[in-house]
């Protein structure tokens, strides 16, 4: 069992042992500059030796289980250690015994992406990189721009032209080179890939390197350190690439590899109804996304949930099945109702992606997948703004939900 009694965890060096490919199991030296396996599979960091539990809070309290070896490269803006809020009125309205909300909206850049950015940027810096690049619909651009600025690096951010002006201006304020690309995120990703190949920048997109998921893993470590979360009946994760969900799974995987006796509750991935390739594959019993379905990465309020073909879908599906979990999807109307209900009953304003997980609790309760005596953890991946619900009367939805 994890605890928080040790006083020296944050001063111990990383116990990084190397990297291994999830697909072909090939091993890589810890100091390699490889970002993905030769077989195109995602690389995962492995660790050695027993490590103490952390004292205090924050991502770098878990430094022995993170890949940055030199503490001088531990980039931070104060991320991690977010609260696990008990939401009794919301639980009652949804028909379950207990609802715990992991509030990632309180991260430095407003979403859980701050965790991945801190470790990803720190490791890139340690490996001698000066420029990072990614394609995004918004929140990842904010996180990597901020942490690149903190580290003295340059971020190159490729975003669709429909990305909010506030997001673009914030990235530029942090010194990022923002490239506006017509079309969906997939087109921006293609432009980013071409630029990375031309300029030799370090790509930090989801599954483009092994270190982003290590930062995301710290959320799972925090959940496993809290008996309320360990004893829950499900942990609901909003999913596009699924890297956050995999990070939670990897937290338990890494601790078990070091001899810890830990068990995760079932992990539940939540997708948008207009873009649910992981759900489609899960229901078909497939190990990867299916071909032929015309999913779109533009038609939803929850734009952060839209990934037409997640790069490491096989790893996401494995993580869900390994914990006895499942996937589901919700539509925009359900997202707005859930957001309104959460605001009215608990005083929390959630981004559409976070509200999708609340909507999923209601859906799963309605089909008895969650029982009346169930306890659920919802990962609220980010805080909301009024503009997130443009096109919907949010105030009216709150009134109806009341």
Give the DSSP letter string of 7-66.
Answer: S-GGGSPP-EEEEEETTT--EE-TT----B-TTSPBEEEEE-S--PPPSS-SGGGGGGGS
CATH number at 146 reads: 3.40.50.1100
Please indicate, yes or no, if residue 359 is contained in any of the structural domains. Answer: yes
Largest Cα–Cα distance of the chain, in whole Å? Answer: 57
Structural domain boundaries enclosing 169: 130-200
pTM: 0.93
CA distance 212 to 205: 8
**Among residues 200, 227, 255, which one ends one of the domains?**
200
- By the 8 A CB rule, do 394 and 334 touch? no
CA angle, 97 as apex, 92 and 99 as ends, to 5°?
75
Q: Domain count for the chain, please give it.
A: 2
Are residues 156 and 252 both part of a single domain?
Answer: no
- Look at residues 276, 275, 304, 295 and name the one whose alpha carbon lies nearest to residue 164: 304
Are residues 368 and 257 both part of a single domain?
Answer: yes
Per-residue pLDDT at 357 exceeds 50: yes
- Look at residues 329, 343, 345, 331 and name the one whose alpha carbon lies nearest to residue 394: 343
Please indicate, yes or no, if residue 63 is contained in any of the structural domains. Answer: no
Instruction: Write down the pLDDT at residue 388.
Output: 75
**Among residues 200, 228, 251, which one ends one of the domains?**
200
Mean pLDDT of 79-86: 97
Which comes out higher in pLDDT, residue 400 or 232? 232
pLDDT-based confidence at residue 6 (cuts at 50, 70, 90) = very low
CA distance 326 to 315: 14
16 - beta bridge partners? 47
Are residues 220 and 186 both part of a single domain?
Answer: no
pLDDT per residue as tens digits for the range 102-135: 999 999 999 999 999 999 999 999 999 999 999 9
Are residues 355 and 294 both part of a single domain?
Answer: yes
pLDDT per residue as tens digits for the range 307-331: 999 999 999 999 999 999 999 999 9
Encoded tokens for 130: 């000066």
Question: What DSSP character marks residue 350?
Answer: B
Least confident of 50-59, 117-126, 198-207, 351-360: 50-59
Instruction: Write down the pLDDT at residue 386.
Output: 66
- Look at residues 299, 381, 361, 365 and name the one whose alpha carbon lies nearest to residue 332: 299
- By the 8 A CB rule, do 42 and 20 touch? no
Please indicate, yes or no, if residue 44 is contained in any of the structural domains. Answer: no
CA atoms within 13 A on the CB side of 194: 9
Are residues 292 and 362 both part of a single domain?
Answer: yes
**Among residues 180, 200, 220, which one ends one of the domains?**
200
- Look at residues 157, 183, 161 and name the one whose alpha carbon lies nearest to residue 170: 157
CA distance 305 to 396: 24
379 - beta bridge partners? 102
Gyration radius of the chain's alpha carbons = 20
CA distance 75 to 67: 12
């Amino acid at each position: 069992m994890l605890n928080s009694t040790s006083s020296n965890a944050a001063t111990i060096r990383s116990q990084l042992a190397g990297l291994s490919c999830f697909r072909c199991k090939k091993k890589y030296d810890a100091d390699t500059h490889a970002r993905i396996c030769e077989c195109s599979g995602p690389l995962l960091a492995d660790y050695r030796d027993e490590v103490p539990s952390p004292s205090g809070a924050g991502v770098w309290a878990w430094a022995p289980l993170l890949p940055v070896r030199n503490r001088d490269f531990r980039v931070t803006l104060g991320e991690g250690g977010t609260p696990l809020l008990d939401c009794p009125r919301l639980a009652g309205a949804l028909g379950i015994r207990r609802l715990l909300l992991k509030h990632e909206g309180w991260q430095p850049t407003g979403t859980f992406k701050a965790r991945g950015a801190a470790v990803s940027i720190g490791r890139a810096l340690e490996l001698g990189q000066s420029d990072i690049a990614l394609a995004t619909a918004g929140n990842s651009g904010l996180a990597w721009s901020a942490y690149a600025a903190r580290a003295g690096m340059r971020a190159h951010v490729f975003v669709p032209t429909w990305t909010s002006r506030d997001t673009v201006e914030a990235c530029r304020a942090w010194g990022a080179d923002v490239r506006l690309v017509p079309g969906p995120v997939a087109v921006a990703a293609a432009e980013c890939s071409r630029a990375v190949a031309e300029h030799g920048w370090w790509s930090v997109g989801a599954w483009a390197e092994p270190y982003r998921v290590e930062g995301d893993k710290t959320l799972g470590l925090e959940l496993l350190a809290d008996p309320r979360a360990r004893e829950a009946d499900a942990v609901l994760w909003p999913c596009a690439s699924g890297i956050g969900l995999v990070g939670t799974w990897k937290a338990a995987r890494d601790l078990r590899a070091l001899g810890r006796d830990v068990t995760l509750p079932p992990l539940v991935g939540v997708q948008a109804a207009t873009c649910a390739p992981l759900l489609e594959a899960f229901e078909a019993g497939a190990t990867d996304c299916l071909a032929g379905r015309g999913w779109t990465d533009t038609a939803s309020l929850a734009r952060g949930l839209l990934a037409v073909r997640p790069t490491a879908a096989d790893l996401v599906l494995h993580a869900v099945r390994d914990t006895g979990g499942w996937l589901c999807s919700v539509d925009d109307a359900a997202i707005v109702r859930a957001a309104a209900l959460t605001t009215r009953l608990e005083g929390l304003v959630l981004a559409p992606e976070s509200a999708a997980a609340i909507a999923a609790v209601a859906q799963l309760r309605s089909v008895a997948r969650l029982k009346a005596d169930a306890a659920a953890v919802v990962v609220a991946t980010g805080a909301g703004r009024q503009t997130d619900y443009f096109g919907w009367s949010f105030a009216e939805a709150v009134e109806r939900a009341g």
